[in-house]
Structure 1
Amino acid sequence: MLVDALTDLDRRRDWQSAASALTGAAAAAPEAAAELNRALTSLTTTDTADDAGSERDRPARQRIDHLVRLLTARTVTHRPEALRQERTAAARILAVHRDFVPQAAALLTHAVDLDAAADPLHSSLVRLARLHDGRPVLAARTAQTLATRITYAHRSGTGDTDTLLTVVARLGATGDAAEGLFAAALTAAGGARTAWTGPWRTQLRLLRQHPVPDVRDAAHAEVTAHE
């Protein structure tokens, strides 16, 4: 019933309530998570309907955007791990459509387990970076979201700084633009978190020599000691 209300584009009154109920149920029941994915798949196939019309504009896309906002908002309002698998599965569905890569990136950004060990955390960030090939603006936005999550994790008393430093060093060493932007944003968050101890200052210096100008700019924008 909820999927029908959400995917029937002729129903314009109750689809937001259905979206909220479906994402809420997905955290508690695998069956509901599967139905959420079915709804997303259905909506991606009907996305081009009513493109830039005078009465309606991409109604399916607007419903997908709403679902993504609900799924990412629950990172803060609920336990971060509660919908990690559901976000990852939804991101896979959206990532195969070029016009939904930003939504897929948002979901994967909020699916990253910041408490993971260095190797799995690094791998998840590399996978996330691959979505940003040729999308520097999106990469910068994702990097900022990652930094915000790191900051929030610090306030919540979670996340290991030494692990983060290891991962940042790996990301910054590849020369990749998206990985470099992630490294710069995470360095800013980690540096602030530790009052810019020596290893974080060293990492910032390295990023200021990165081959990608946007990464160098981001690193230079950070200040370890104010005049």
Structure 2
Amino acid sequence: MLVDALTDLDRRRGWQSAAVALTGAASAAPEAAGELNRALRTLATTDTADEAGSERDRPARQRIDHLVNLLTARAVTHPETFRAERTAAADILAAHRGFVPQAAVLLAHALDLDAGPDPLHSALVRLARLHERRPVLASRTAQTLATRITYAHRNGIGDTDTLLTVAARLGATGDTAEGLFAAALTATGGARTAWTGPWRTQLRLLRQHPVPDVRDAAYAEVTAHE
């Protein structure tokens, strides 16, 4: 019933309440999570990119955006739960070119910041692949990462040594998205540790990155204020 209310584009009332109920149920029951994914898949398939009418404009996309906002809001308050479901939803949206930004947001909020260097690095590389030829999106996602890591630190989540290892790996590839993610990790990790020696070294390396946007992000950080 909730999926029908959400995906029937002729029904213009009640879909927002259905979205809230469906995402809430999905966090508690695998069957509901599957139905949420079915709703996302249906909406992504029925979205029409050339709409821009006086009465309606891409109703399917607006419903997807609402679902993504609900999922990311839940991730902020409960970051360690519902991770697999956010990842699955991201995979569905990433298969549609028009919904890569929404997929990136979900994957950024699905990261396990308490994971070791190898799984966290792999997850960030996977996230970076969504940003090929999308430098503006990569910059936005890097900001999302910085915000999420800062919030996690306040709640005792995440290890600075892990962040440093992953930042070094990402920054060494020469890739734009990976470099911007490395800069985000370096900015948050450096601030967290009051810019101890290893973090200053990592910042210097990013200031020599082959991509100008990454260098700019590194130069925007200050290790000692005048």
Q: How does 1:1-227 map to 2 (within 5 A)?
A: 1-48=1-48, 51-77=51-77, 79-227=78-226
Distance in 1 (CA, whole Å) between partners of 2:43 and 2:149 is: 32
User: Any idea what SS the aligned residue of 1:81 has?
Assistant: coil
Question: How many aligned positions are there?
Answer: 226
Distance in 2 (CA, whole Å) between partners of 1:94 and 1:157 is: 31
Distance in 1 (CA, whole Å) between partners of 2:190 and 2:80 is: 25
User: For residue 150 of structure 1, what is the amino acid of its counterpart?
Assistant: I
Give the share of equivalent positions with the same residue, in percent: 86
What does the per-residue CA deviation read over 1:32-78, in whole Å, with 9 as the maximum and x for residues that have no partner?
A: 0000000011101110188101100000000000000000111122x
TM-score by length of 1: 0.98
Runs of at least 5 residues in structure 1 that lack an aligned partner in the other structure: none
Distance in 2 (CA, whole Å) between partners of 1:183 and 1:131 is: 16
What's the Cα RMSD here? 0.9
Distance in 1 (CA, whole Å) between partners of 2:145 and 2:50 is: 34
Checking the alignment, whether the CA contact within 8 Å between 1:81 and 1:113 is kept in structure 2 is: yes
What does the per-residue CA deviation read over 1:137-180, in whole Å, with 9 as the maximum and x for residues that have no partner?
A: 10000001101111111111121000110000000000000000
Distance in 1 (CA, whole Å) between partners of 2:137 and 2:215 is: 17
User: For residue 114 of structure 1, what is the amino acid of its counterpart?
Assistant: L
User: Any idea what SS the aligned residue of 2:80 has?
Assistant: helix
Distance in 2 (CA, whole Å) between partners of 1:196 and 1:216 is: 18
Distance in 1 (CA, whole Å) between partners of 2:137 and 2:85 is: 22
